[in-house]
Structure 1
């Protein structure tokens, strides 16, 4: 499943949904057509066990040995591969899902509390980028383009926090639960360098007492249903609490 997830560039949620709904995934995994699949959190737990037991390296070393014996691998010297690239790619798309869903949930809650104010301060692209859930969209496959998406989300979230905490914003917005979640997630994952929003290094970034690693959307909120020019858009609605995990 991790190999299929890597090839397709899916988040954990998207991968679990593909197993449940796609015939080609069921065929590749040897599942019955009516198999209900599994919860997306299983993938993260499996990756942890895979790394701890070095099982991925043993499996892939066996593949290399078999390929060499049949003449499929003719590279001079020693050849080796492991699950590092697979794990890294899965982590990156899941991180994009985290920050995108966190920002979308904050926009939803603000839309319910102060829709007119949000229409006045929102950037036009926000209604296009955050009108649908992250797992209903596909992130770019190349790492460079995914990095661009992450920086764009970081800049949008920083802009939203700036206007929410500006003197002219309604005071009640600063106490909203999703706005506080957005602030905490952005402190953990982004910072500004020479006026530009950058992602913190995952290895050296700030660690809060309770770190967020999954999209957090505790309760439904009103839809952001109109752009500044009055054009209807798709509803921006956060994920039900039963499908989220707090770590």
Structure 2
């Protein structure tokens, strides 16, 4: 069984690495016996060359990006870092979109005190899906699609997207739009994986919301999704010879 090489972005904020470590433990708990290694693009150790170098053969591991959207890090940074390490590891798809991410968002709102099981509560509540933001239009479009699907499947009064970086709208703008749309209560749900600078920026901007959720962090749904992406990539590698024989 190949190892699962979890590739995270990294941060100077120690809460980031602690969250990644907790997520790795959740993955191990869900799939005992699977080797799980961690590597970072930046700021934290070990970096990708340190880990991928010893897993250089394609059969030794599957790289799974801890990324929500297919933007610059997924398209360029991770492949470049693996190539620089001389690695031929297969790389799984990014996490989003997935119903499991919506379930993790629900979990965090419930933990923050919102009764997400009540259709009446959902129908009165507008939610801000607060993402990092990207210079890649396709990545931002994917986030907007997640927001639309979350509203459609849950029956929220409205779901607005806001960004902590790049161009707007910002969280206060999104909260104002929710109130204009008639939402009786508002909630801010960070569409981010771990604490750090951008989540702190969202927290500071969410002062006017009724409910503020935590980042996705080591949610069980996130660990399940990482294993799904690992299994999909592993299966794809196994089926290539049959297709080309």
TM-score (norm 2): 0.31
Higher CA-based Rg: 1
TM-score by length of 1: 0.31
